[in-house]
Structure formats: structure tokens, C-alpha cells
Amino acid sequence: MTPLRQRLIDDLCLRNYSPRTVDTYVGCLVRFSRHFGRSPDALGAEEIRAYQLELLRRGVSWSLYNQTVCAMRFFYRVTLGRPELVEMIPFGKKPKTLPVVLGPEEVLRFLDAAPRGRDRVLLQTAYACGLRIGELIRLKVADIDSARMVIAVRQGKGRKDRLVPLSPRLLEVLRIYWEHDRPKGWLFPGEDPERPLHSSSVQRICQNLVARLGLSKRVTPHTLRHSFATHLLEQKVDIRVIQVLLGHKKLETTALYAQVATDLLREVISPLENLHNT
């Protein structure tokens, strides 16, 4: 490892960035460096601009594009101490799209199609608690608090802990799962019991189910989180409570689900319906 890469990692760790963010930033800068065949500290404004245009030419996702921007802005501002370059690294405007949501019947069909045992319990937990994939796979047996009927989500997005409700049905499912599999540390261990299940494994489980069921919707593990939030909103749960359960920093992020809560939309009466009264 080069001294420059180690310095970048140290700068990120000093600011308590998550291990996943550290890996992402380092990866982005490695690709930036390899594109030009030079160390990133030898690259300036022209190379940054050219690389951003290259990413657009390749058609990379806006998430990857903006992750790269974040990595470069941190590297030049903090690690190299060249803040004058930061203003020359613009973010891309990410298109706003509506989340894919499954109806309750579709969720039931999706969960029932999962293989019995760990895979089905994994997806049931994701939906019942509205968890991000990283939060789901990092759950530990000790995080299940049946006395208080809550699950502790440790170090979610933004390195924040939070509590989510533990439904009686999920508790029953988890108890059966524990009796059969006896997980000790991680609730959903991978092939190596000392390590949690990898996120790619969860994504693969969903992909296989989508193919098996022939679903037209693009269902990912995050779809279950979107469905959780939307269904709570349709049940008239206060949106501020949903915000807390999801671990959202801003209420406007949670408010997006109001656009896909069809039960709420059906309550809206179009002005066309009232034209016969005029």
C-alpha cells in the first residue's frame, strides 16, 4: 500500500467514516488514478474534468458518479490540502424516480416463494423492520430484545443506532429459526459463521425469486424497505414515526412514499367528479 493511500484511509478513519465508505472512496480514487496511469496527487483540474466526462460517456449510474465526486472532493480538500480544486468537482443531478413498491399480496407471495429457513426469515425480517441491506446482514442474535419487543439496529446509515419494533409474528419466526439453525453471533451468518452473510448473497436471493415468480417489477432487497414504509403510511401511521423507524435524517426523504401510497391516492377526489354538480 502506498503512503498516499494509507494517508487517505487514515484521514477517513479519523473522521469516523464507515469501513464501507472507506473502501468505496479508495476504490473510486484507484480507478481515477489508473485511468490516467498516474498517482492522483499528480492530477489536477483538467484531469478531473476529463474523468467526469468519461464517466458520463460510459453511462455509469448517478450513484457511482456522485460517489466518485465525493471521494475526489474529500481527497483534494483533506488529504492533499488543495481546497481550491473542490469547487471544480461538481455533483451530478440525480434524476428523481419513484421507488418500486409491492402490494401486501405481492409481498406475501414473494416471501412465501423464498426457501424455508434462513433465506425466508432474512426477507421477512427485512420487510417487517424496513431495514437497509447493510443493517439486515449486520444484525446479531443479541440485538433481538423480546422483553421489550424491539430490535436494535446498530450503526445504520450515518453511524447511528436506532430501535425498530419487533412484531409478535416475526418473533415467532425468529424463534423457530434459532431453534433450527442456532446462530451464535451474527443472526444471519455466511458460509464462515464468524462473518455475516454478504450483501451480494441477499441480492442474489431476491434475483432468483424474481426469476422464479416471473415478476415484471424490479424487486431488490431495498424494495422490501420501500414496501414497509408505504404500507405503514397507508395504515395511517404518522409520517414522523416512519421517519424515525427508517432512520431518515430528513422528513422530505420519507415524504416520497406519499407519492406511491395508493390507498392515500384513492382517497383523493378528482375535481372531474364534481363537475356534474356545477
SS (H, E, C) 7-42: HHHHHHHHCCCCHHHHHHHHHHHHHHHHHHCCCHHH
Distance, C-alpha 32 to centroid of its chain? 25
Is there a catalytic annotation at residue 225? yes
Is there a catalytic annotation at residue 7? no
Beta-carbon contacts of residue 12 (< 8 Å; ≥ 6 apart): 21, 22, 25, 74
**Which of the four pLDDT bands, split at 50, 70 and 90, describes residue 269?**
confident
Give the model's pLDDT for residue 12: 95
Supply 81's cell numbers. 490540502
**Which of the four pLDDT bands, split at 50, 70 and 90, describes residue 276?**
low
Please give the full DSSP string across 129-156, using - where no structure is assigned: HT--HHHHHT-BGGGEETTTTEEEEEEE
Task: Exactly one of 132, 138, 226, 231 is catalytic; name it.
Answer: 132
Task: Exactly one of 31, 82, 157, 162 is catalytic; name it.
Answer: 157
Task: Exactly one of 73, 118, 138, 248 is catalytic; name it.
Answer: 248
Please say if the pLDDT value at position 79 is more than 90. yes
pLDDT in tens, 141-151: 999 999 999 99
Alpha helices (H) in 188-261, listed in sequence order: 199-213, 221-234, 239-246, 251-255
Is there a catalytic annotation at residue 180? no
Overall average pLDDT of the 195-223 stretch: 93
Mind listing the domains of the chain with CATH numbers?
A: 3-88 (1.10.150.130), 104-265 (1.10.443.10)
Find the Cα–Cα–Cα–Cα dihedral 230, 233, 238, 241, rounded to 10°. -20
Reported pTM? 0.78
Give the model's pLDDT for residue 170: 96
Is there a catalytic annotation at residue 177? no
Please say if the pLDDT value at position 221 is more than 80. yes
Give the burial class of 173: count Cβ atoms within 10 A of its Cβ; 0-12 exposed, 13-18 middle, 19 or more buried: middle
Choice among 54-58, 208-212, 255-259 with the minimum mean pLDDT: 255-259
Task: Exactly one of 109, 120, 154, 222 is catalytic; name it.
Answer: 222
Give the model's pLDDT for residue 278: 53
Beta-carbon contacts of residue 80 (< 8 Å; ≥ 6 apart): 41
Is there a catalytic annotation at residue 157? yes
Q: Around 76, how many Cα atoms within 13 Å sit in the side-chain half-sphere?
A: 21
Is there a catalytic annotation at residue 154? no
CA 231/CA 182 separation, integer angstroms:
32
Which amino acid makes up residue 95? P
Task: Exactly one of 138, 225, 226, 231 is catalytic; name it.
Answer: 225
